[in-house]
Amino acid sequence: MAEFKNMKQIPKDERPYEKCVRLGAQSLTDAELLAVLLRTGTVGSPSVHMAEEILSLSKDRKGLLGLHTLSLAQLKSVKGIGTVKAIQIKCIGELSKRIAQTTARKGLQFTQPGTIADYYMERLRHKEQEELICMMLDTKNHLLGEEMIFKGTVNGSFVSPREIFLTAMSYHAVGILLVHNHPSGDPTPSQADLDVTQRIAEAGELLGIPLLDHIIIGDCKYLSFRQQGIF
């Protein structure tokens, strides 16, 4: 987009609102979508320019993905973004995650790792730390509940099978599924992942609460231990 000092200088058919009316929301760029939600810019800086500056803030993930990693302080560093607008932007990111998760839940099938990965993808792929979640299932493979077991680096020193199965028994679960994320975006299991999974699988067999799968979430990709024949 050419440089303009205010929205009125932008040709009418290029302004986000008018463009959306004519061509639909899908025709808008990421910056234009964000500009519509920001509503107003500042003197000498249209809302589209402000949106472009926000989208370039994240050092690790450019564009819309970067919104999930930005703090309120980072957002407020952009001229024209105060506390209210910064909170609105954070809520936009959270809303998008919840919409994606709600949609994925409808197709959730615990015998199909891809549906589980879809369910957790938007929730976990933006995390800067690893989170290990345990899903508890009943005899008909219905979800009884989920618990975050650990947050940090997943390894044998910190992840306790005892804690996992105490949680599973509190739900009267007959099977469990583990899901955790790799902040690097690469779902390839580490040696620590392999060791922890083996220990939990062995404990599950002894207790009669088998580990049905362990799914690692990367950036728009996943790995299922069962699918890979790892255990």
Q: Is the same domain home to 54 and 133?
A: no
Q: How far apart are CA 77 and CA 74, in angstroms?
A: 5
| Residue-level pLDDT at 174 | 97
Q: Is the same domain home to 56 and 31?
A: yes
**Domain of 48?**
7-100
Q: Is residue 56 part of a domain?
A: yes
Which helix (DSSP H) or strand (DSSP E) does residue 130 occupy?
strand 130-137
Helix (DSSP H) and strand (DSSP E) numbers for the chain: 9, 5
Q: Is the same domain home to 11 and 88?
A: yes
| Residue-level pLDDT at 231 | 77
Q: Is the same domain home to 84 and 123?
A: no
Q: Is residue 2 part of a domain?
A: no
Q: Are 150 and 189 in contact (CB under 8 A)?
A: no
| Residue-level pLDDT at 228 | 94
Q: Is residue 92 part of a domain?
A: yes
Q: What one-letter code names the amino acid at 110?
A: F
| Residue-level pLDDT at 48 | 84
The strand order across the sheet containing 130-137 reads 143-152, 130-137, 175-181, 211-217, 222-224
Q: Is the same domain home to 117 and 17?
A: no
Q: Is the same domain home to 134 and 66?
A: no
Q: Is residue 148 part of a domain?
A: yes
Q: Is the same domain home to 135 and 36?
A: no
Q: Is the same domain home to 179 and 120?
A: yes
Q: How far apart are CA 131 and CA 126, in angstroms?
A: 11
pTM for this predicted structure: 0.67
Strands 143-152 and 211-217, bridge-based pairing: unpaired
Q: Is the same domain home to 111 and 96?
A: no
Q: Residue 136's beta-bridge partner residues?
A: 145, 176
Q: Is the same domain home to 62 and 123?
A: no
Domain limit, last residue, from 75, 100, 125: 100
Domain limit, last residue, from 100, 121, 144: 100
Ramachandran region, residue 80 (left: φ > 0; alpha: ψ -120 to 50; beta: rest): left
Domain limit, last residue, from 100, 134, 157: 100
Give the CATH number of the domain where residue 115 resides: 3.40.140.10
The pLDDT profile of the chain, 231 residues, written as one tens digit per residue, is: 445 444 455 545 457 888 888 888 889 888 888 888 887 655 555 788 888 888 888 766 666 767 777 889 999 998 888 898 899 888 888 887 777 777 766 667 788 999 999 989 988 988 889 999 999 999 988 889 999 988 877 665 568 899 999 999 999 999 999 999 999 999 999 999 999 999 999 999 999 999 999 999 999 999 999 999 987
| Residue-level pLDDT at 147 | 94
Q: Is the same domain home to 76 and 14?
A: yes
Cα 123 from chain centre: 3
What six digits make up the tokens of 147? 């618990």
Q: Is residue 1 part of a domain?
A: no
| 58-83 pLDDT tens trace | 766 666 767 777 889 999 998 888 89
Give the count of domains, the chain. 2
Q: Is residue 75 part of a domain?
A: yes
Q: Is the same domain home to 152 and 173?
A: yes
Q: Is residue 195 part of a domain?
A: yes
Look up residue 177 and give its DSSP letter: E
Q: Is residue 43 part of a domain?
A: yes
